Each structure stands twice: as C-alpha cells, then as structure tokens.
Amino acid sequence: MVELATGLAQRGHSVRVAVFYRRGPLAAELERHGIEVLDLKKKGRWDVAGFFARTVRLLRRVRPDVLYSYLGGANIVAAATSRLVPGMRLVWSIRSSNVDLDRYDWTHRLAYRLECTMSGLPDAIIANSFTGRDFAVAQGFPVGRISVVPNGIDTGRFRPDTGLRDGQRRAWGLEPHDVAVGILARLDAMKDHSTFLKAAALLAKERPDLRFICVGQGPEREALVALVAKLGISSCVLFVGEADPVAALNGFDVACSSSMTEGFPNAVAEAMACGKPCAVTDAGDSGSIVGDLGAVVETGDHEALARAIIGVIEARSPQRSVAARQRIVDHFSRDAMIEGTLAVFDRTIEMNRHG
C-alpha cells in the first residue's frame, strides 16, 4: 500500500491514506513522501458507531474520486460508507486466498461472510493474485468486477548488498560457513511456521551448518518457541523479531515460505529481488512467482519442504541468483503495479462520468 500510494503521488495524483489505528513505522514513511495520514482513531473492536460517523465525515470532507480499501475489515467499512458520499467510486482489494477461517475466532468468520455478501457493492475489485481471484469467485464475489494486479516490488530497494549481508549475519552471530535458511513473515497461524520448524528438525540432523532464522513478530511466538524446544533444535533456530527486511533477506542464503494461504507473497518476491533462491509451499501465487528458479511443495508437508530446502541449497549459483532477481524486475515491478492499479481507477471514474 505504501509503494502504491507513494508511486501515485509521484505521478502527480493527490493521495491520502486513512487508517483505523495510527501505529507502526509505515505512517512516517508515507509522510516522508508528502502523503497525509488520516487517523480515524478507532478505539477498539467494538467502537462501531463513533468510528463509522468519523469515517463518513472524513470522506465527505475529502470527497475522493476513488476510495480504495485494503483487507476485509476495511472493505466492509468502505462499502458501508460509500453510498453516503455522492460521486465517490469504491474499489476493494483482495489480498489472500484459501483462508482457513477455522484458525480464527468467530468475529473473523462473521466478517468474511459479511464481506462476501457485500461484494456486489464495489465498482471494481483488485486481486493481487490469480489464486485470490479464483477463491473469491468461488465464495460468491462477482467475477466480472475483479482485475488481477500483482504486487510490485521496489527492486531499487530490494537488491543484493554485500555490506548489509555481512552486517546482518554478524548481528545474528552467524559464522562465515553457516548456511542461513530464513523465513520472513509475521508469526501467524496462516504462515504455518510449524511446518518450517519441523523441516528444520529433519535437516538439523544431517546438516549441522544450517541455521534457521525466523524474522517477524506475532501471536504464535510463544507456541513456536515451545515447539522448537520440543523438537530439540533450539541451538540452530533464531527468533530475531522485527528487522529491516532488506538487511534480513540479504542475510539469508535461502529464503522459505511455509504458508498455508497467501495472495501474493511479498517476502518471496523481495527475497528473489535480493538474489536469494526460494523454497516455498504452493500457497497463493507463490509457485508462479518462483517459477523454475526455486522449489515448490504442497502446503503442510514438512518432509517435502526439507527436501526442497536441501535441493535449493545444492543448486545455488551466482547465475541463478542473477536470474531470480531478473525475474522480479521483468514481471513484478513496482511500476507495473502502479500502472495496473491506476488503470482500474481510471475505468471506474470514467464509468461514473458516463452514468
């Protein structure tokens, strides 16, 4: 979202970003590019009436040509408020696929059912993956309104950097001969770190030079730390919390994604932009991003993931690193995402002008 907002602003468009809660470092990144961040000051899950009223007042004051909402909760709020702002076009986004709602509480399940019911309200819907589009259509979303615009990677920022690599590996306490197999993802049930860690337990018996790095925070941390202890691999697994993603990915030798569900997995494409080979589960569009430059296995299969990691390690070469980066440059650029999204916006505005 930050990449899109800043890219649109750089092309001369007036862009504002409204957030439910103002927190986290990306708000400052937006403001650094001159983009106003509007805080809707949501007080919590059950702050509904006041939050709704503040959102309507904000939209009536700003009167945007297009309101573009990210994630399910925002899609619902945007749909509920859009008809109260004359002339504004509504575009939803779909950012995931094949979500297993049984892993979440009843409020998430109710929200998704409501989102499906309201999916005829937006003027257009942008899915960031073909898998996400197909899943949404199967749940009742209108296929004729959905365009696929893959996420775009800032390949000027995400690139191989020897200096960052050396500094990051020193910070993690790695030796020069250690092979770092890393996963960059929030510690959430859908990212299925347990499959990654079970694969690590198999590999640790064969390869004492492997180190498994988990970058990210989330609600599953305590359970995952306990699993590491149970598997007896505490000596070769590091939970490093939040980190600069460019430095972290450069610090890896192999990047992994063990997700059960994805839309467009940014971390996979970012890793490839940094020249890293990837071993991934077949979640979302992971397989189409990696292509033949990495390994793709079924979700939830830790034995297959372990074999894939070893295969990727053994196939590493400077030529494959260059090819991995070039694939992202050629097919998943930031500019392509911005232009594709803007084309959808332009179509919805033109529809409004013609009735």
Question: pLDDT by residue (tens digit) across 317-334?
Answer: 999 999 999 999 999 999
Residue bearing tokens 């990306």: 26
pLDDT, residue 148, reads: 96
Please say if the pLDDT value at position 99 is more than 70. no
pLDDT, residue 228, reads: 98
Which CATH entry fits the domain spanning 2-152+334-353: 1.10.10.10, 3.40.50.2000, 3.40.50.11540, 3.40.50.10800?
3.40.50.2000
Please say if the pLDDT value at position 237 is more than 70. yes
- Confidence band for 165, pLDDT divided at 50, 70 and 90: very high
Residue 126 DSSP label: E
Per-residue pLDDT tens digits for 6-63: 999 999 999 999 999 988 788 999 999 999 999 999 988 888 899 999 999 999 999 9
Please say if the pLDDT value at position 91 is more than 80. yes
Fold of the domain spanning 162-331: Rossmann fold (3.40.50)
Average pLDDT over residues 271-294: 96
pLDDT, residue 238, reads: 98
CB within 8 Å of 27: residues ≥ 6 apart: 19, 37
> What separation in angstroms does the CA of 292 have from each of 84, 288, 296, 299, 332?
49, 9, 9, 18, 16
Rounded to the nearest 10°, the torsion over CA 300, 301, 302, 303 is 180
Instruction: Average the pLDDT over each of 39-48, 128-137, 168-177, 342-351 and give the range with the smallest value.
Output: 39-48
Please say if the pLDDT value at position 336 is more than 70. yes
Count other Cβ atoms within 10 Å, centred on residue 241. Answer: 11
3-state class of 314 per DSSP? helix
Domain boundaries for CATH 3.40.50.2000 within the chain: 2-152+334-353, 162-331
pLDDT, residue 101, reads: 65
Q: CA-CA distance, 228 to 153, in Å (whole number)?
A: 32
Considering just the CA atoms, what is the radius of gyration of the chain in Å?
21
- E strand or H helix at 30: helix 26-32
- E strand or H helix at 91: strand 89-94
